[in-house]
Chains A and B, each alone.
Chain A
């Protein structure tokens, strides 16, 4: 099975990087979370409820929704900040990409670690810009809010397509599909990777590394 992938590209200022990625990732994750499963026996369970929080952007006129979960927000924020810092340290006009990947685990024998099979990959490519005047900044601020709105509609359109989403497994195998480490919510298993210079060599290196790790 091939994972479906979607790429969004942004050319923005350094200070807008975190907000843009946060908006995209949280919009996606809000659709890729379920309420916390509470098992009541072997086959009985109840599902918790998801809350949501409005977050205002500081460097553009846009508001987006995040799942109300301090743990999730911290996890996402840490990764995004690492990426932003790395990108900003790379230089003024550097570029990079960050990936939100949803995967499920497949058991491959008692000797081996479960295989991680991605089923949905969202990639955000960032090109850092340097603006010289306040007029340009204001123009960028207004334009970015329109771009983010358009991206949000695109995300909802993609998510609402009747494409593959892992079915909820048996209660004993929940952690093959969901990340059960969060106390208040239950997102699908996901991981965030990033690189500052997306090159073919780096991509091949990443694939080989993952193949080597999963085979052990």
Chain B
């Protein structure tokens, strides 16, 4: 442990630099896994808001998560117990199978120090260099290319932050470890490392009470104790669940999908958050169409389009059906409020005159059958125009052949007493 004591002013400056260094590092790591190319501008004139002379735009959720994870000043690296700050990157399939890909770790070792380092100049510039190294190295691990090809139907990349010893046990047997950079200070040394998985293909291990899903291109190994709360290091996972709007799967509360998934999510996702699943939305449209009797269409598109039509656009046949039904409704008893389709499940009690209210009574059944007559055959088995014309032609031929009989009939009628 270093015996050198920083002045209060330098110690405060170092704490501040450290805090922003950790937040910026988290931003760089998470933003590099968004799946898109980044471009930021070089600015000749400093606006005073950019730390370490680097143009890094902050994603608010990531900053919030990082600050939550760091907690109060006690948890900052430079103060005992020097808890490391870790950012974990994982891959999640649509079946909610997760595989950890990387663990980025910033640790502080108080056994190596250099009293000659000036906080406000040397250390600040070194932090800038290490962050640049982090920027370049985040593009060099295999996860970067994976993240560029992510999509909602294949897999998404998630991140998680925690403080404590880095967990590398779930990176597979042959994970690789690299040191990105280190910063010497008068009281210790920062070290930035990454451990990343090198073997992505593993066999699928089914779990109890879970349906066996098909093998994905990555063959997922079911997670071990990734979400376990039994770890003895300080972890702010519960507080760290920045539930981004896209993270609606409550079974995976600990990792947050990368922010860009909000934008990638289709309108069906936004629908799911407010109106239910896309299937339910579609079903509700069907129900609206069934609200008008006789408007059963054969294709869903017709139903959808029908619900937006006005009467002027209705086909003539449907308009006729509407008129008939409206007239039928007008003649019905006021006790009935069943103006929906016959197979609607609104129970209406039939009260036959001078009869029992029991719906199984013959009179009640008769009244119900009168109120809900079956569809005429001519409307069920509607002939085409050609068939109708042929039928009419046949009938005319028959009538023409029997003209004399019709004349005799008319003659008997006119001479009747």
Contacts and interface: CB of A to CB of B under 8 A. Distances in A.
Interface string B135-176: 111011100110010000000000000000000000000000
A49 B50 contact: yes
Interface in B12-60: 37-47, 50, 53-55
Interface stretch (A30-38, A95-103, A112-120, A124-132): A30-38
B350 interface: no
B213 interface: no
A162 interface: yes
A170 to B, nearest CB: 15
A149 B46 contact: no
Given A48-B43, A50-B54, A51-B40, A156 B139 contact: no
Contact of A61 (B50, B137, B145): B145
Contact of A185 (B40, B42, B139, B178): B42
A184 B43 contact: yes
Contacts of A47: 46, 53
Contact of B42 (A38, A69, A153, A160): A69
Contacts of B53: 34-35, 47-50
Nearest to A160: B181
Contacts of B54: 49-50, 52
Contacts of A65: 132, 135-136, 139
Contacts of B43: 35, 48-49, 51, 184
Interface string A132-162: 0000000000000100110011011101101
By secondary structure, the B interface counts as: mixed
Interface string A41-58: 000001111111110100
Given A50-B42, A56-B37, A63 B139 contact: yes
A148 to B, nearest CB: 8
A157 B179 contact: yes
Contact of A51 (B45, B55, B139, B182): B55
A68 B136 contact: no
B46 A48 contact: yes
Interface in B112-136: 129-130, 132-133, 135-136
Contacts of A31: 129, 132-133, 136
A90 B182 CA distance: 43
A16 interface: no
Contact of B44 (A36, A53, A56): A36
Contacts, number: 116
B184 A160 contact: no
B260 to A, nearest CB: 14
Given A34-B53, A64-B139, A156-B181, A46 B132 contact: no
Q: Choose among B45, B53, B132, B182 the residue with the greatest number of A CB atoms under 10 Å from its CB.
A: B132
Nearest to B125: A34
A183 B181 CA distance: 29
A27 interface: yes
A104 interface: no
A22 interface: no
B180 interface: yes
A157 B178 CA distance: 9
A67 interface: yes
A70 B355 CA distance: 93
Contacts of B180: 156, 160
Nearest to B40: A51
Contacts of B50: 49
B42 A159 contact: no
A54 B133 contact: no
Contacts of A54: 37-39, 139
B129 to A, nearest CB: 6
Contact of A68 (B39, B47, B130, B139): B39
A34 B136 CA distance: 16
Contacts of B55: 49-52, 68
5 contacts: A49-B43, A51-B55, A153-B137, A160-B133, A160-B181
